[in-house]
Amino acid sequence: MHVMSQAPPHAVSRLRSTRLARSVKPFLARGGPKGERCAGCRLVPSHCICALRPNVPTRAGMCLLMADIEPLKPSNTGWLIADVVADTFAFGWARTEVAPEQRSVLLQNK
């Protein structure tokens, strides 16, 4: 197992940034706005696990479809997956639309 240090933002982090850019009001996570969080692992700074984060060697790729506000939550399963599986993609889910990048990810493995 390889421990990563300063990794570039992963797919869920990038989806969060995109979603935040569309926000008209701040997202208030459980616990309120007072809590400062690590930008990497989203935990409170005293509990930061960034230095311990493993990179799981796997041939599997992950394609996450996330509800609109899911990437804004400080922690969720998608964050954990993207933290340890390098080949992770994340897209916002919509009932009637498919992002062009999502379609190409799904078709590239046919």
Residue from 48, 84, 85, 86 in contact with Zn ion (CB under 5 A): 48
Task: Decide if 48 contacts 71 (C-beta within 8 A).
Answer: no
Task: Decide if 74 contacts 42 (C-beta within 8 A).
Answer: yes
Task: Decide if 73 contacts 22 (C-beta within 8 A).
Answer: no
Q: How far apart are the first and last CA of the chain?
A: 30
Toward Zn ion, which CB reaches closer, 4 or 72?
A: 4
DSSP 88: E
Considering only 29-37, 39-47, 71-79, 82-90, which stretch makes contact with Zn ion by CB under 5 A?
Answer: 39-47
Residue from 12, 41, 64, 90 in contact with Zn ion (CB under 5 A): 41
Q: Is 80 in the site for Zn ion (CB under 5 A)?
A: no
Task: List residues near Zn ion by CB under 5 A.
Answer: 38, 40-41, 48, 50
